[in-house]
């Protein structure tokens, strides 16, 4: 894992997307973007200039799958 700013690791502008599970105006949101082949950057949408977590794509996919599973189990 890497908490460095992913803009330092790539020469293109990142296409940040907000999580579909974000809670509107409460500020409890994350955004994610593909940094390069095989890596996803994650940040707090309230602190866009703050630290960014960079993880392998397969780790992100596992996390999203687990979150979806937990969400459907509690519905």
Work out the number of other CB atoms within 10 angstroms of the CB of residue 42.
19
In a domain, 32, yes or no: yes
In a domain, 23, yes or no: yes
Number of domains in the chain: 1
pLDDT digits (tens, 9 = 90+) for 9-56: 444 588 999 877 666 666 678 899 999 888 999 998 888 889 999 999
CA distance 55 to 41: 7
Half-sphere exposure of 29 (CA within 13 A, CB side): 17
pLDDT above 70: residue 74: no
User: What's the confidence (pLDDT) of residue 29?
Assistant: 83
In a domain, 1, yes or no: no
User: What's the confidence (pLDDT) of residue 69?
Assistant: 84
Helix (H) or strand (E) run with residue 39 in it: strand 39-44
Label the pairing between strands 39-44 and 30-36.
antiparallel
Partners of 44 in the β-ladder: 30
């Amino acid at each position: 894992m890497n908490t460095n700013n992913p803009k330092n690791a790539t020469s293109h502008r990142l296409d940040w997307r907000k999580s579909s599970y974000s809670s509107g105006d409460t500020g409890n949101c994350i955004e994610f973007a593909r940094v390069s082949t095989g890596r996803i950057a994650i940040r707090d949408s309230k602190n866009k200039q703050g630290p960014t977590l960079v993880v392998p794509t397969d780790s992100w996919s596992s996390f999203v799958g687990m979150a979806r599973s937990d969400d459907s189990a509690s519905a």
